[in-house]
Amino acid sequence: MDVTRGGLVNYRCPNCGATQTFNPALRSLSCAFCGTQLVVKDDPVAGIAGERFIVPFALDHAQARSILASWLKNRGVLDFAPRDVLSTSQFDEGMGVYVPYWHYTCAVSSNWTGRYGQTQYRTDVVTRGKKGKQSVQARRVPYTLWFPTSGQHAGEHGALVLASYGVTPAESDALGPYPLEHVRPDVADYHSGFITEEPACNAEKAWEMGDYLIRAQESAACRQMTPVLDTVNSTIQRCYVSLVWMPMWIFGYRYKGTRFRLIVEGCTGKLYGTRPGLMDRLKRR
């Protein structure tokens, strides 16, 4: 096994692929993401280079359960769901999980081209009325002349890229934006009592999405500089990469043999989950 912080070890779930840490004194455990009962065996996981940060849990288990209970009491969220969801489903106690993200902070410079318009007016002559009773009227009609423009822009942007097998992109997007203002240097004490998922991909692989997000932010910044943006040629001059763990309380429940789950973001208290019915996405702001 791969021994990590505080004597904990890494283990990869054979069902969903999530890699999480746990106490090696336990001979078995339940996957926090899919509920699969795991039997511990050797499964080495490669180490992670680079700086690590963490957003600590601000909500304890009782507070997360309270948010879940309030949501369950809101009958509106169960529209289109089977009537017996609450009465027949078995909810588990929930687990506190740190979910990994790669964070990129990049300095970007760009050359852009665009267009700006000037309103001009022309006079049109219009004939109105029936034959024999016609009148000629002149009216001013506005039109726009477009002129080319160009410029430069330099800025710094940040991108947070999910690096989890256990949490889906849809769940992650719904729970964001994440409170990066609460980020702290990663120390072992923060992980005590919680499960920590190790990254499902390295920083190089996640950079494909990070690069897309950074360039999209730079294009949006350039778009503020001209009425019509035509092209943006961006160069990433430097990029700082780090690993950040986000806190999530994950609750699972079964309905007629199918497992569903609800996630409470452990710092902001946002809730997102799935349930049986026509509308599978539930969101609490």
Assign 3-class secondary structure to 210-270: HHHHHHHHHHHHHHCCCCEEEEEEEEEEEEEEEEEEEEEEEEEEEECCEEEEEEEECCCCC
Q: What is the mean pLDDT of residues 254-276?
A: 82
Query: Does the pLDDT value for residue 225 go beyond 50?
Result: yes
Average pLDDT over every residue of 4-11:
56
The pLDDT, as a whole number, for residue 62 is: 92
Q: Would you give the DSSP letter of residue 170?
A: H
Q: What is the mean pLDDT of the chain?
A: 80
Mean pLDDT of the 40-51 span: 45
The model carries a pTM of 0.73
CA–CA separation, 3 and 44 (whole Å)? 9
Question: Which pLDDT belongs to residue 56?
Answer: 96
Pick the more confident residue, 133 or 184: 184
Of the listed ranges 44-53, 212-221, 222-231, 239-248, the least confidently predicted one is 44-53
Give the Cα separation of 175 and 283 in Å (integer). 8
Instruction: Average the pLDDT over 106-125 and give the result.
Output: 93
The mean per-residue pLDDT over the stretch 84-113 comes to 82
